[in-house]
Chains A and B, each alone.
Chain A
């Protein structure tokens, strides 16, 4: 193919058309989710963006390593800490992780208007929100599942009952899924309304800490005043005690807060609140993105 002179020698290779497959929206949504998950751990990005997630992953795993070492060396007959309570006890780590990575995932696209490039493609706004939610949930899950696997390794090496531990590990992983989805939904929702990354980070930490504080104070005070039922319901307002309540009801876990969900109605209500919360976050996010590109 000859090339017109005015465009110079640099373009001196003919244009090739693309005849290969064009994969549909499900592939695109999956690709965006995978790219976002990698981004959450800084993979395929600069070294600087790997520091934070790797550091947090280490902080999360080190206590589990220590516990495992103690179990193996001392020959204890059970883990000093339940699988289901590990992520909740180390809640501050996953809070910081979500606060750091949720804005990285969505605020950046909004601030630099990359969404215009996404939405001019076969990717719908709903698809975008689903992919971002799935990726952030998966990232938080990885952060919480890694130490559980280390604990499990320690337990098995230390000769603790195999089936018993396997069952508890699976319960712990199931709880981690719920917690990851709740934290990711909350984090992305806040991040999508704060296009400036720094503000997003601060806002997410603030929301989770304030809600947690309110819940803990309410639980403590009502427990002291002799209102255990009220104390139990107080767990509803913050992500960690909320998911803790679901674990207590659905997985037979021991509560990691002052008191678990009250009575027989408590558990199902906690579970329903989780479902309603995640659904509400999804719908609000979709609405947020509808506004972004309609103008």
Chain B
């Protein structure tokens, strides 16, 4: 069963701003990345999925519940971590998470237990008895994540959880997200404008741009697509491009620098043979990864 299904979802603000355009996509169980540049419509989509903002047209179902009519029930079963600061500075993390657990319908004793559990799982220990006002950005992100998990939801929506974190904090947050999806057994939708970091933790990715669906696929399928070889020749770049194309390879050229799609091991052999036949010098042969969003832009453009 899909966690989220949207059909022809469109959202307009006034007559001029269109945030989502005819979006039809499914989010399978597991960890799914929702990728798009800032302003691509990620946050708008999340608001609609929580039943907080009505769609202009189209429908969406979360856990098989209709967002237009069953918002309350959805919010009972879903956890949400907002993108921006949303924590009061004058209470401790424990007090806040207990209170918010109750606000999700948990009886007081259960809310206390769950708060202690989730704060420990996100890695907050003695700090949790201090007022949140004194926390670092990384600790605040952890509190925001803990409150989203406080009621043991079946699905969590995490809006830019790595925002503002340093590289080490980013890695810890991503590892935590991976754990939520695998060890905790809670499905995750995580948004980011950075494809690279999501590739590492997501089973699936959904890419949107300008409110339109660019691609929805398993991460492995998407990453396979982006494997390529950078080939730099000493001379005759145009001839090399033609020769690669004739040998059945997908190739793009800028000057003497060629990007060849890496299909499997035989691609290396083909490249070697073509270069040898042309009799040009091979300056560089490097395996790399194309920036995924660029790739989608190319596809959309062609």
Contacts and interface: CB of A to CB of B under 8 A. Distances in A.
B53 A7 contact: no
Contacts of B82: 113, 116-117, 120
B85 A123 contact: no
Contacts of B176: 7
A46 B90 CA distance: 8
Interface string A1-44: 10110110011011111101111110110011001000000001
Interface in B174-191: 175-176, 179, 183-185
Interface string A224-254: 0000000000000000000000000000000
Nearest to B53: A294
B184 A114 contact: no
Interface stretch (B114-122, B216-224, B228-236, B283-291): B114-122
Given A7-B176, A16-B117, A122-B72, A45 B103 contact: no
Contact of B84 (A17, A32, A49, A113): A113
Contacts of B73: 122
B53 to A, nearest CB: 6
Interface stretch (B29-37, B94-102, B240-248, B268-276): B94-102
Give the dominant DSSP class at A's interface.
loop
B147 interface: yes
Nearest to A114: B88
Given A16-B117, A112-B88, A113-B84, A25 B95 contact: no
Contacts of A35: 99, 102
Contacts of A122: 72-73, 75-76, 104-105
B52 interface: yes
B8 interface: no
Contacts of B76: 22, 121-122
A288 interface: no
Contacts, number: 113
A13 B120 contact: yes
A256 interface: no
A121 B71 CA distance: 9
A124 B72 CA distance: 8
Contacts of A28: 102-105
A123 B72 CA distance: 7
B210 interface: no
B88 A108 contact: yes
A117 B147 contact: yes
Interface string A111-133: 01110111111111000000000
Given A3-B183, A117-B86, A293-B52, A20 B72 contact: no
Nearest to B172: A7
B91 interface: yes
Contacts of A22: 76, 104-106, 151
B80 interface: yes
Nearest to A113: B86
A27 B90 CA distance: 25
Given A113-B82, A122-B75, A18 B87 contact: no
A119 B52 contact: yes
A24 B105 contact: yes
Nearest to A27: B105
Contacts of B238: none
Given A10-B123, A28-B105, A4 B90 contact: no
B86 to A, nearest CB: 4
Interface in A150-179: none
Contacts of B72: 25, 122, 124
Nearest to A115: B86
B62 interface: no
Contacts of B85: 112-113
B16 to A, nearest CB: 15
B193 to A, nearest CB: 20
A121 B90 contact: no
Nearest to A3: B183
A218 B91 CA distance: 46
Contacts of A31: 102-103
B90 A21 contact: no
Interface of A: 1, 3-4, 6-7, 10-11, 13-18, 20-25, 27-28, 31-32, 35, 44-46, 49, 108-109, 112-114, 116-124, 293-294
Given A18-B152, A121-B75, 8 more contacts: A35-B102, A112-B89, A113-B85, A114-B86, A121-B100, A121-B103, A293-B47, A293-B52
17 contacts: A11-B123, A14-B183, A18-B106, A18-B110, A18-B152, A20-B106, A20-B107, A21-B107, A35-B102, A108-B90, A113-B82, A116-B84, A117-B86, A118-B103, A120-B52, A122-B75, A293-B47
